[in-house]
């Protein structure tokens, strides 16, 4: 037996009765994004529609996607970095170049207990203060020093 939908497809109203019945947007649950978080919830999820028209939910095009690392995380990685030869332990300090590790910026979250001699493109003021308090030093890389930043 032929399926009902196949039988109906060629007809003018496709089984909806009178053409007047399906005239308005009410017959499809509203127009546009109506009901995106109610009766059309799955529809909106599939299309990636975010709730609301709040400015905080709009994309921030000025934001940089730098893969920044916190000072505390950097100190936790030191043992592994020294083992791989990406950091050198000379005397009482540890010499580290963030550019070689692919770290564009260093942020200040975490504790610094070891003496770090660090070279980086960008570093936050808090991170720099923490490193200097622990007896270390921070130097900007040559690329930044030449450009005057």
For the beta sheet containing 69-70, the strands, ordered from the edge strand earlier in sequence to the opposite edge, are 69-70, 105-107, 122-123
Phi, psi of 39 (to 5 degrees): -80, -10
Phi, psi of 96 (to 5 degrees): -145, 135
| Spacing of C-alpha 92 from chain mean position | 37
Q: Would you state the pLDDT for residue 45? A: 84
Q: Would you state the pLDDT for residue 58? A: 65
* pTM score, whole prediction: 0.52
Tokens of 64: 């940089």
pLDDT per position as a tens digit, 52-108: 655 556 667 777 776 888 998 888 888 888 888 888 888 888 888 888 888 888 998
**pLDDT at position 8 over 60:** yes
Q: Domains in the chain, please, with CATH?
A: 4-57 (4.10.990), 69-147 (3.100.10.10)
| Among 128, 126, 123, 124, CA closest to 141 | 123
């Amino acid at each position: 037996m032929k399926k009902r939908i196949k039988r109906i497809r060629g007809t003018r109203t496709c089984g909806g009765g009178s053409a007047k019945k399906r005239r308005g947007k009410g017959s499809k649950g509203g127009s546009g994004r109506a009901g995106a978080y109610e009766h059309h919830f799955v529809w909106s999820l599939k299309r990636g529609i975010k709730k609301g028209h709040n400015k905080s939910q709009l994309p921030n095009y000025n934001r940089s996607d730098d893969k920044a690392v916190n000072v505390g995380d950097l100190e936790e990685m030191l043992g592994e970095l020294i083992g791989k030869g990406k950091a050198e332990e000379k005397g009482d300090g540890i010499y580290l170049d963030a550019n070689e590790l692919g770290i564009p910026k260093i942020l200040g979250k975490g504790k610094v207990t070891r003496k770090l001699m660090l070279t980086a493109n960008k570093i936050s003021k808090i991170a720099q203060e923490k490193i200097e308090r622990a007896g270390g030093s921070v130097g900007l890389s040559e690329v930044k020093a030449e450009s005057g930043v």
